[in-house]
């Protein structure tokens, strides 16, 4: 299954913020349901990611004006990403190998399309495995193949 077929699920976790936004603004977004923000430049291309851990780490050491510094000082720029053409199983393998909870999905122009979440991906892949097992069982038992 390609990630393109999984995009409706991945879009639910998509939350973008501009790289010149203040750290406190990002903290407010991350306080709710989002675990990761995709940080975009003025043209809407992904410049990096910002996680709850990044914000907590920075706020833990900030004082005064540094708490309102732009998130461009804190974000992670080197990010593992996926494209819609990639295979969902391969993305899952990367997530396991790198111990990643989320991977951004971007298009060829680096515009964000969604966020793959490990739980969502695993649920989809497990559902597919269960369906294949059911088909195999029915085949072996000669059910529905007359």
For residues 45 and 144, give the distance between their C-alpha atoms in angstroms, rounded to a whole number: 50
For the CA atoms of 55, 60, 63, 69, the dihedral, rounded to the nearest 10 degrees, stands at: -10
* CA nearest neighbour of 75 among 36, 106, 109, 115: 36
- pLDDT interval class at 34 (50, 70, 90): confident
- pLDDT interval class at 19 (50, 70, 90): very high
| Res. 131: pLDDT tops 60 | no
- pLDDT interval class at 140 (50, 70, 90): low
Q: What is the pLDDT of residue 31?
A: 87
| Res. 141: pLDDT tops 80 | no
Taking the CA atoms of 19, 47, 67 and 24 in sequence, report the sign of the dihedral they define.
positive
Over residues 36-62, the mean pLDDT reads 90
Q: What is the pLDDT of residue 32?
A: 78
State the fold for domain 3-117.
Answer: CBS-domain (3.10.580)
| Res. 132: pLDDT tops 80 | no
Write down the domain spans for the chain.
3-117
């Amino acid at each position: 299954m390609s990630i393109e077929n999984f995009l409706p699920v991945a879009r639910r976790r998509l939350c973008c913020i501009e790289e010149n936004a203040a750290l406190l603004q990002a903290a407010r977004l991350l306080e709710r349901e989002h675990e990761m923000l995709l940080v975009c430049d003025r043209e809407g291309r992904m410049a990096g990611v910002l996680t709850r851990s990044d914000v907590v780490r920075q706020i833990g050491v900030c004082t005064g004006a540094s708490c309102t510094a732009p998130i461009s000082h804190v974000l992670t720029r080197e990010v593992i990403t996926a494209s819609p053409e990639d295979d969902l199983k391969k993305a899952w393998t990367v997530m396991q190998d790198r111990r990643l909870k989320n991977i951004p999905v971007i298009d060829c122009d680096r515009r964000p399309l969604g966020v793959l979440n490990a739980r969502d991906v695993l649920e989809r892949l497990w559902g597919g495995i269960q369906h294949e097992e059911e088909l195999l069982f029915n085949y072996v038992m000669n059910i529905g193949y007359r």
